[in-house]
Each structure stands twice: as C-alpha cells, then as structure tokens.
Structure 1
Amino acid sequence: MKQQGTVTGLQLGAMTFVFVFSTTIAFLISPLAGAASFDGGLCIVLAAIFGTALATFSLRFALRQPSSYFGEYGGTLINKYLHKGILFLLSFFFLHLASYILREFTDFFIPTYLRETPPAAVGVLVMVAVASLTQSGVSTVFRFAQGCFLFIGVLFVFKPLFFLTAMDTPMWYEFTRIHDWKALWAQTYAIIPWYGELIMFSYIMPELNINPKIRKVIWVGSLAGTYILLVEFLLIMFFFGPKLAATLVYPALELTGFLHLGDFLRNTDALIVSIWFTGYFIKLSIIFTIGTLLCSQALSLSNYKPITFPLAVIVVSMSLILAKNPVQLAEYFNSSWATFALFIECLFFIYPLVFWIKSGRARSKGPAPKP
C-alpha cells in the first residue's frame, strides 16, 4: 500500500469549496427561504459549523492509519461482517445521492435547455463522462476540481459587488433577529448532512498527501464555500423577499437576470449556468467515485474499475425512478432525507467508539502480574 497520496492540500481545499456550494445554490435556497425566511442565513452558518465538525472529527480518527483505506482495515476494528454491511450501506448512500443529484440536474436542464430530450439520454451522457473520470482515479477528480475552482470562485466572490446598491435597505434588520426558533432548528438539522457528506474524505486517506494542516484545509474550504452560499442567499432575499424566493424554483438563476457586465455581456444566464454545471459535475464525480470505491471494498475487489460502468447504469436507473416529478422529489428530501443521511454519515463513529472501548478495557486490565 502506498504511503503518501498525490492529492495536495490545495486540491483538497478546492474540492471542499466547490462541493459545499455547487448544487446547494441551485436546489437549497428556495425551500430554505420558504421554511426559515430571514433565519435561513443563520441556518446555513450553524449547519456549516456542525456538519464540517462532523467530517473533521472522523478525519482525526482516520489519520491514525493514513496509508490504508478505511474500508480495508475497518474489519480489524469491528466484526468483519458488520464492517461489510456498513460499507454496503455507505456505498448505497453515495450512489443514491449521485442518482438524486443527477435527477435534479435533468429536471432543471431538460425543460430549460434540452426540451423533448429523453431524461434517460441526458442521464446516460452525463454518467458516461462521470464514470470515465472515475476510472482515471480518485486523484484525477481532485485535479479537475483544482483546475476549475479558481474560475468558479472568482465569479461568485465578485458577483455581490454588482448588487451592493440593492443591499442598502432596511431589510438588514430582519437578519439580525430570530423569528422562529423551531424553524431555525428544523432547517439547520436538514442542512447539516449537506456538509456531513465531507466525511467521505476519511475513506480515501491513501489518496491524500497528508500534512499537519489537513483538517484546517477542509475548514477553510468549507467556510469559503459557505460564504458564497450565504451571500447568494442574502442577495436572493434582498431582491425577491422570502415569499417570492420560496415560490421560484431556481431563484439563483432568476437573480442573474439583474446582472449585466456593462455592454459586453448583457445576459449572464449562459455564463452562470455553465459555471454552475462545472461545479455540479465535480460534486457528482467525487460522490460517484466514493460510492464505487466503497462498493469494491465491500465486495473485496482489488480494483473498482470493472464495476464503474455497471454502477453508473444503476445510478441512471435510480435517478429515473426516484420520483414522478420535481415536487415529489422535493417532498422526499424535506420529509426524511436528513435523518437518513445523518444516520449513514454517523456510522463511521462506530469504529472509534469500539476502538476506545477496547483500549479502555485493555488499560484497565493492566500488565499481567509477575510470578
């Protein structure tokens, strides 16, 4: 087993940054505005803190053996059959999540840009590209993220500058107080798993170029992505208000109609969508890669490449049957997804819990008495 991976700190930070806000901007803001109104900004901040902490705590334990995949040596910490069961659950979670993201993409793209195109055809085309990137290796996905994040980040960092005049309103006061504690907790709980998905890094430790600041890199990347998401949420609330933002399917896209870069670029929709699609593709690729890797480890395969395309077919199939329409898909997310996701993400902590219990028992017994 190799001792040091090729994924650098910059690539890890870039992946975290893009992962946090890529699909979240498109699909989270509208339901968040409807459920939490002006408290949505605080929901995002609290969820970022708790979710990122969840991921970095898992990474702390995984760093005990940075040269080994957790999926391969986890069976030495707990019962091997239980370990395989957990791996299958984790694999299903990430592959199911990939199908969910793919379905969101087809529901968005087909009515707007690809009318009369069969959803299956779009799904197959996207997943062929994703599976091909996955077969190139985990580190390739991170390098792709590094190559794209600067362009993506620069656009969204400077985007608020074009809306500064609109943000000078009495509405600021509404963001400084809590309106509904129950809604605040409910929406924070629903968003935490979006950040908790970063726990995936603990399962690819041999791919990472380990350094003492690796957890700090994830925090920086996560908070930078949260800044983008938070600013986008504030802009949408300033322009549309909570009621209109809640009724818009894609308020972030509607917001681009107010953005003009002088006489050079009067309509930025195409630019914003193309950049968003890049971030979406990065997130889908890493999630699918993790799911494929965990499935191969659960099956005790030495290489995950032979099952990459078969699993891609399964992802496309699941995306087509997840729901009949976008409304039904959103209802599933709002009703049960958060609890399911948190349960799966927290399965990792079975291993440190068992490890610490066994270590405590060993210490309590102490050395055998001398004859």
Structure 2
Amino acid sequence: MLNWGLVLVVCALAAAGTGLLYSAGGGWEPWASRHLVRFATLLPITIAIALVDVRIWMRLAYWIYLIVLFLLILVEIMGHIGMGAQRWINLGPIVIQPSELMKPALVLVLARYFHTQTLDRIGRPLVLLPPLALVFMPVGLVLLQPNLGTALLLIMTSGAVFWCGGVRLWKFLLAISAGLGAIPIGWQFLHDYQRQRVYTFLDPERDPLGTGYNIIQSKIAFGSGGLFGKGFMEGSQSQLMFLPEKHTDFIFVVLAEEFGLVGCLAVMALFMVVVVYGYAIALSSRSQFGRLTGIGLTTSFLLYILVNVAMITGLIPVVGIPLPLVSYGGTAMMTVLIGFGLLLSVSIHRHTRISRSGLHEG
C-alpha cells in the first residue's frame, strides 16, 4: 500500500515552496506557477515509480547508472554553459542537469552491489574497489563542470551506503585522514571563485559589496525576521531585491524574513517528518537492497537540507545547493521526486525478500 502520509508531507513542502516563490517573485510569475506545474506533472510519475516492483529497480540499477554517467560525459562534450559553469544539457524543450540525476542513480547501483556481497567479502579491500570506482567516476566528471558542492554530496551519500553496507569503521577513518591530508593539494586545483567562497566564509566583511554580499544580506534578512517574521510579501531584503538568488539557494532566507523563527521551525519540522519516514521505511525493508536504497535516498535528502541551511547561515561556504521541494529548479525537483518514488517502492515492497541475484524471491 502506498504511504500516503509521506506523499502528503511532500505535497505540503511543495506548497510551502510555491508560496515562498510567489512572494519572492511578486506574483505567480516567473517562478511560482512553474514550480507548481512541475510538481503537479512529476507527482504522478513519482507514484508510477513507486508502484514498480523494487526487484525491477534492482535489475535496472546498473543500466540507470550507465545512462546517467553517459549524460555526464555528454555535459563535457556538448553541455550548456550557465552562470560560468558547464552543468546542463539542452534537450530542446527541457534542460537537465545530469549531476542531480546521478544522486539516486548512484544510490541504486551501490545498493545493488552491496546487496550481492556477503559481510565476509565486504571485509576484503579488493571487493571495495568496484564500488569506489562507481563513486569516483561520476564525482570526477562533476568536479570538471565544476560543481564541488554536488561532488561532495555524492561522496557523503555514498559514505552512508558504504557504512550501512558493512564497511568497517577503520576504513572510513583511513579515508577521512587521507582526505584531510589531501586538502593542501586539492586547494591548488580549486577555481578562483571556489577559493573566494572559502575566503568569504572566513571573513564575509572583506568584500561586502562583492563576494561577501550574498551571505551578509542573508544574515540581515534572517535577523530582521525575528520570532514571527514581517509577514507574507513584507520582507524588505527579498522584496526590495537586496537578496540575490532568493528563488533558489536562498529561498529559506525569504521564509525566515517573512515568517520568522516560527515559520522556519515549522518547515524544518516537515522536513524532519520526511526524514523519519524515510529511515523508518528503510529499516522496515526485509531486503538489503531495499534497506540500502532507503538509507541512501533519505541521507541524500537530509544532506540537501543541512547543507543548504548551513550555507545560507554562514556555517559553511556557499556551495550552490538548493532546498529540496522548496527552491526553484526543474532537475532538482525531478531528482527529489524520483528519489521519493523509489523510497515509496521500497515501502510498498518492504516485505519482499530478494535473492543476491535479484532475479527471484529468496
């Protein structure tokens, strides 16, 4: 049976996003109406994905991954350049961002790989080489776009699947140590704008009218909202165009200014309900593939939220991560709803036992 409670909360978040985009744009155009139409169009697709047997998604996992990986390669060959980065493919009536689609695709393929392995085999270092290759091939392509934020999200989401798949703690500690040790080397390969984001994070006041402008205006808007906010469409920073990217990365700031701390807590509560639903679905699955798929997709959704809120409050450098279901963006919404479709499929078929081959019930 379809988990209608989860569907209802997802609809509530999309409705909140539509309202905030209406305020940010001063009416239905240019963002609110498109956001609502996209959600209304994609929701039936989400339900259709949910009704497909989870074993079919397991069998298709490698093909889905390869298709999205091919799209990432196409980005390098014929990608559309926007805002200084080459991240999109123009398919006529639609423009897609394959790096977003890689998030659920990577979870599926890793879940399938670890489902086919025993704990004893996972303890062997050579057995981890294939899943590591599955992770770092798309990560490398995403870094070339350049898109450091999405690359880091892919790595962190994969880490959750690796952990729940049975990889030992000492291997994570070794990988983290190697990553920290590589920071001075990685710094040399960062683009100038990425270095500026780090400098701005450390000292936003160093360039208040340039690189520090966004985060300074964001903090002003946050503080001015107070406990209950200034009211719908009454935010000075957003309505008077002081707040850049208010319809995408900084949409949560519009919420904070107009509805205050109470509004922020209400939306965050909805997000946390979704996260609890997600992990509960994952843990209720009787198959390893279902558990890992649910955990990976829910962790990816949670990271979206945490990174976006931390970014706009100045806790981490700005990395260009939208707020799921609330921010404006077609591919981002499609990716999130595909993820929910797969999660709902795990929920419907949570009692299904899947053999290691995935070809029949065990």
TM-score normalized with structure 2 length: 0.32
Q: Work out which structure has the larger RCO, using CA pairs closer than 8 Å and 6 or more positions apart in sequence.
A: 1
TM-score normalized with structure 1 length: 0.31
Over alpha carbons, which structure has the higher Rg?
Answer: 1
